[in-house]
């Protein structure tokens, strides 16, 4: 069993590849920019989640099982897409205005019940600036997590189930992020008002649905394999992997992760064009084509542990 991270020397390969791509294909710069239509998609998804939550709320708590079932089958995809919106708004590829991007963050975070968009904004920027550095990248698991989980399938399942809150345990390792800024407080108040309104006017079961969507879209669900596909690896020579499967169509191309880390200024809808413009830089990389297959492999393949991450010293 692997007992340590893949410790590799050298600089971030994304920076090196980005420079090489720009030298070979300067036209890639034309993909930089914003996609304001992302805001319209956000409003549509939030409205749909609200309608479903309100209806399930009227059924009463005796239908909690239906709320969870609908969340597992439908709601997780909506919630996951909202996380991608939060991701793009963090990179300010929705609007040019920082103010408007923060409004998008708050709106997209409403159905999450546990608001985290503003915290994500801060920590995700650290993930990019300190990627693969243990004291700088909050996406890397703690060493104690990896030692505790090991290569045991049921421990990995519990880890995935608890993934939404385990990330909080990593913040002590990285530079601090202000979780009580004015924008953060506004986000907390808006999310609380949203959830309490659904509870008060339609019933608690609506909140059960929303919480189930939040919980399973980031953890023990085939969609949760997205977080495995991005940076967990069995090849220490490849820090990041992309996913090119069909769920990208409803996941706003978040699977194009090598492309995103190479050029964070490219909005989600143009990432396939980026790969098409520079195929010689991406065709030789290992990719995932099924999050469901990866979900099963991660659980039952003993080669996959939480140590299956590259940690760089350069």
* pLDDT value, residue 295: 96
Length of the chain, please?
314
- Is the pLDDT confidence value at 68 over 70? yes
Q: In 10 A of CB 114, how many CB atoms?
A: 15
* pLDDT value, residue 11: 79
- Is the pLDDT confidence value at 1 over 90? no
* pLDDT value, residue 216: 93
242 φ, ψ (degrees, to nearest 5): -100, 160
Q: The dihedral of CA 164, 36, 244, 48: what is its sign?
A: positive
Q: Which residue has the higher pLDDT, 261 or 218?
A: 261
Reported as a single tens digit per residue, the pLDDT across 17-33 is: 999 999 999 999 999 99
274 φ, ψ (degrees, to nearest 5): -60, -50
Reported as a single tens digit per residue, the pLDDT across 105-144 is: 999 999 999 999 999 999 999 899 888 888 888 999 999 9
Instruction: Give start and end residues of each alpha helix (H) in the chain.
Output: 13-24, 37-59, 64-70, 76-90, 98-109, 117-129, 143-149, 153-161, 163-166, 182-202, 204-217, 225-231, 257-262, 271-277, 279-282, 291-300
Q: What percent of the chain clears pLDDT 90, i.e. is strictly above it? A: 85
- Is the pLDDT confidence value at 39 over 80? yes
Structure tokens at 308: 């299956």
Structure tokens at 220: 């023990």
DSSP 243: E
Q: Which of 66-75, 128-137, 303-312 has the lowest mean pLDDT?
A: 128-137
* pLDDT value, residue 171: 86
Reported as a single tens digit per residue, the pLDDT across 276-302 is: 999 999 999 999 999 999 999 999 999
Reported as a single tens digit per residue, the pLDDT across 230-241 is: 999 999 999 999
Q: How confident is the model at residue 314 (pLDDT cuts 50, 70, 90)?
A: low
Q: Please tell me whether residue 116 adopts helix, strand or coil conformation.
A: coil
Q: In angstroms, rounded to a whole number, what is the distance separating the alpha carbons of residues 80 and 98?
A: 23
Q: In angstroms, rounded to a whole number, what is the distance separating the alpha carbons of residues 284 and 286?
A: 7
């Amino acid at each position: 069993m692997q007992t340590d991270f893949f410790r590799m020397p050298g600089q971030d390969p994304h920076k090196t590849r980005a420079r090489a791509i720009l030298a070979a294909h300067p036209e890639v710069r034309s993909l930089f920019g914003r996609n304001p239509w992302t805001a319209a998609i956000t409003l549509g998804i939030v409205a749909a989640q609200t309608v479903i939550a309100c209806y399930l709320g009227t059924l009463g708590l005796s239908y909690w099982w239906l709320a969870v079932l609908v969340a597992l089958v439908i709601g997780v995809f909506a919630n996951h897409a909202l996380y991608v919106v939060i991701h793009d708004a963090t990179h300010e590829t929705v609007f040019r205005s920082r103010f408007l991007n923060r409004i998008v963050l708050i709106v997209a975070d409403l159905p999450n019940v546990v608001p985290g968009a503003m915290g994500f904004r801060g920590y995700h920027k650290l993930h990019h600036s300190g990627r693969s550095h243990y004291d700088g990248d909050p996406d890397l698991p703690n060493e104690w997590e990896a030692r505790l989980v090991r290569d045991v399938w049921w421990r990995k399942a519990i880890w995935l189930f608890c993934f939404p809150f385990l990330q909080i345990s990593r913040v002590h390792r990285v530079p601090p992020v202000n979780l009580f800024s004015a924008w953060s407080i506004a986000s907390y108040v808006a999310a609380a008002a949203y959830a309490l309104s659904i509870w008060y006017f339609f019933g608690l079961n609506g909140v059960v649905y929303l919480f189930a969507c939040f919980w399973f879209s980031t953890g023990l669900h085939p969609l949760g394999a997205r977080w495995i596909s991005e940076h967990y690896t069995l090849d220490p020579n490849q820090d990041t992997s992309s996913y090119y499967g069909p769920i990208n169509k409803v996941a706003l191309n978040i699977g194009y992760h090598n492309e995103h880390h190479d050029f964070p200024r490219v909005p989600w809808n143009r990432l396939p064009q980026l790969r098409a413009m520079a195929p010689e830089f991406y065709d030789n990389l290992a990719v995932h084509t099924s999050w469901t297959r990866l979900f099963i492999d991660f659980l039952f393949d003993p080669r996959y542990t939480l140590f299956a991450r590259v940690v760089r010293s350069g």
